[in-house]
Structure 1
Amino acid sequence: MNWKGYTLVYVGLFVLATVQAVVEFTGYVDSAYWAAFGVIMVLSVVKAVGVAAYYQHLRWEPRAVTYLVLGATLTALALTAAAAYSIV
């Protein structure tokens, strides 16, 4: 087990979460709301990719497995968006 790699990814995720918290607490001014929202969403995607790549071991899996997980994630996002629009 590569403890150094896991530790570096953990520290990176911790730093990104801290940046998200700072943006959240300082970004709720009316003019900066959407900019803060965009930053938080980008950081969330970066964190999700980091978790999937290292902690779920997708980095070392064959590319077919990675594409399968990516396709399933995109399908789940599409279904969630469709459900959100059907409620309105």
Structure 2
Amino acid sequence: MASDSLRFYGAIYVALLVAATLKVVFERSFDYWIAAGSILVLASLKTLLIVGYFQHLRWERRSLSGLMALALTLFALLMVAASFSVT
């Protein structure tokens, strides 16, 4: 049982390592906007892996996950509003 858990978290770690390596590959290989979009997608996937598995939100109640999604949405809206107030 402990070996399965170690193998599972090891696989998540390897996936995060591959995503970090792909970030460098995208940055050096593609045009700026394609690389930026690809890196944002990779960052989102890495965030989902970390939050879902290492912070155990995958096994929490759906109401808690919904609360986290609401907080993330409000944070994004605040960032957009702040960017308009700066310019």
Could you tell me the TM-score, scaled by structure 1's length?
Answer: 0.89
Counterparts in 2 of 1:4-43, with a 5 A limit?
Answer: 4-27=7-30, 32-43=31-42
Tell me how many residue pairs correspond in the alignment: 84
Query: RCO (CA 8 Å, sep 6+): is it higher in 1 or 2?
Result: 1
Partner of 2:68: 69
Q: Which 5+ residue runs of structure 1 have no aligned equivalent?
A: none
Shift of 1:70: 1.1
Could you tell me the TM-score, scaled by structure 2's length?
Answer: 0.90
Partner of 1:56: 55
Q: Which 5+ residue runs of structure 2 have no aligned equivalent?
A: none
Shift of 1:33: 1.3
Structure 1 consecutive aligned stretches of length 4 or more whose deviation exceeds 3 Å: none
RMSD: 1.1
Q: For 2:6 and 2:68, how far apart are their aligned partners in 1?
A: 25
